[in-house]
């Protein structure tokens, strides 16, 4: 009896310690943080188990990327043909071709051994704005504009305890898009007593607050043809949705198949239950 009590006690001590450590760990992270406010949670159409991209939004986001961001940021995994594939902006093939042809792509060597330029094709990848990282840094005050290919999934922020557990249960995975949206709207005058280094800009949400990307968006900068408001907030929502699609082009398919698998497992569990009842019927 005593033995049992002793092991029970040590077990409960272990559980309490583990819970205490779990609770303390994010607190320690938070203290190390840089005092950045938590990005606001937006309502994204692609969130949740039934999430889908809003085609018109991803198309507008592509327009913002093309007209603004792509002058500094590359997207090396992005090919023109992706614009017409299912689950994304779903432009027609002819539209994607027109976009591709507007760019010059280096090809070659030809029969004379020379490289030459030709209009882009659907199979070409998005042309990078700089030939290499050094050139990109040289034009951006030493900072490298990160490649957009998977950026929306590569950024997040500290959620803390117990929020991160709740997010797992709720399947909330949109911390990256929330951060990017907040970042694009986060340019402010530096607070009193804070000096921002030369060539950097104060941004509330950027770790350390001094970002070397000049505020990229301003109202009415990109002309929308569908009557959507031309505000910084709207542009940043749209371009973030586009970046999320870029980072996870098969998101819709993944969610659809995930749901079908859940339904299958539920039905299968029911069938197994009745099979078990039948097989063991004669055994009491
Ligand atoms: C003039 C060049 C330029 C343009 C235009 C530009 N960026 Fe940037 N961007 C940068 C640079 C440089 C950095 C790296 C900043 C740093 O590390 O301090 C950056 C960083 C970023 C980051 C990463 C921030 C982080 O947490 O590391 C995101 C997201 C981003 N840009 C989004 C955008 C979007 C969206 C657009 C278009 C609306 C855009 N940028 C347009 C130069 C640019």
CA of 27 to the centre of ligand 1 (A): 29
Work out the end-to-end distance of the chain between its first and last CA atoms, rounded to an integer number of angstroms: 34
Q: Which one of 36, 60, 67, 73 would you pick to mutate in the ligand 1 pocket, going by the greatest count of ligand atoms within 8 A of its CB?
A: 73
Residue of the CA atom closest to atom 42 of ligand 1? 213
CA of 146 to the centre of ligand 1 (A): 7
Burial category of 238 from C-beta neighbours within 10 Å (exposed 0-12, middle 13-18, buried 19 and up) = buried
Model pLDDT, residue 26: 45
Residue of the CA atom closest to atom 14 of ligand 1? 145
**How far is residue 272's CA from residue 270's CA, in Å, rounded to a whole number?**
5
CA of 145 to the centre of ligand 1 (A): 5
- Own/partner long-range contacts of 194-203 (Cβ < 8 Å, ≥24 apart): 199/141, 199/142, 200/141
Pocket of ligand 1 from Cβ distances under 6 Å: 64, 68-69, 71-73, 140, 143, 145-146, 151, 155, 180, 183-184, 206, 211-214, 216-217, 239
Model pLDDT, residue 109: 96
Picking from 99, 151, 144, 94, the residue whose alpha carbon sits closest to that of residue 126 is 99
**How far is residue 46's CA from residue 10's CA, in Å, rounded to a whole number?**
46
Q: What is the pLDDT along the chain (284 residues), one digit of tens a residue?
A: 455 555 556 656 555 555 555 554 444 344 334 568 999 999 999 999 999 999 999 999 999 999 999 999 999 999 999 999 999 999 999 999 999 999 999 999 999 999 999 999 999 999 999 999 999 999 999 999 999 999 999 999 999 999 999 999 988 999 999 999 999 999 999 999 999 999 999 999 999 999 999 999 999 999 999 999 999 999 999 999 999 999 999 999 999 999 999 999 999 999 999 999 999 999 86
Cα separation values, 224 from 24, 56, 80, 149, 229, Å: 48, 11, 21, 24, 8
**How far is residue 235's CA from residue 49's CA, in Å, rounded to a whole number?**
26
Asked whether 87 and 247 are in contact (CB, 8 A), the reply is no
């Amino acid at each position: 009896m005593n033995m049992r009590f002793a092991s029970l006690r040590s077990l409960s001590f272990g559980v309490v310690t583990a819970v205490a450590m779990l609770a303390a760990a994010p607190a320690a992270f938070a203290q190390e943080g840089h005092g950045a406010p938590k990005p606001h949670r937006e309502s994204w159409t692609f969130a949740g188990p039934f999430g889908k991209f809003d085609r018109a939004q991803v198309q507008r986001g592509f327009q913002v990327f093309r007209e603004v961001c792509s002058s500094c940021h590359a997207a090396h995994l992005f090919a023109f043909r992706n614009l017409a594939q299912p689950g994304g902006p779903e432009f027609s093939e002819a539209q994607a071709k027109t976009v591709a042809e507007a760019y010059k792509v280096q090809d070659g060597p030809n029969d004379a051994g020379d490289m030459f330029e030709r209009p882009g094709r659907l199979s070409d990848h998005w042309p990078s704005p700089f030939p290499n990282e050094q050139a990109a840094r040289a034009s951006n005050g030493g900072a490298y504009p990160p490649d957009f290919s998977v950026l929306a999934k590569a950024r997040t922020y500290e959620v803390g305890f117990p929020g991160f557990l709740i997010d797992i249960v709720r399947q909330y995975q949109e911390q990256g898009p929330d951060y990017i949206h907040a970042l694009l709207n986060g340019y402010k005058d530096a607070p009193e007593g804070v000096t921002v280094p030369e060539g950097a800009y104060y941004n509330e949400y950027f770790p350390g607050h001094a970002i070397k990307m000049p505020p990229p968006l301003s109202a009415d900068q990109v002309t929308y043809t569908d009557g959507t408001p031309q505000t910084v907030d709207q542009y940043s929502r749209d371009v973030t949705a586009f970046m999320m699609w870029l980072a996870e082009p098969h998101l819709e398919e993944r969610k659809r198949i995930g749901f079908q698998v859940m339904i299958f497992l539920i039905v299968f569990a029911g069938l197994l239950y009745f099979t078990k009842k039948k097989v063991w019927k004669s055994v009491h």
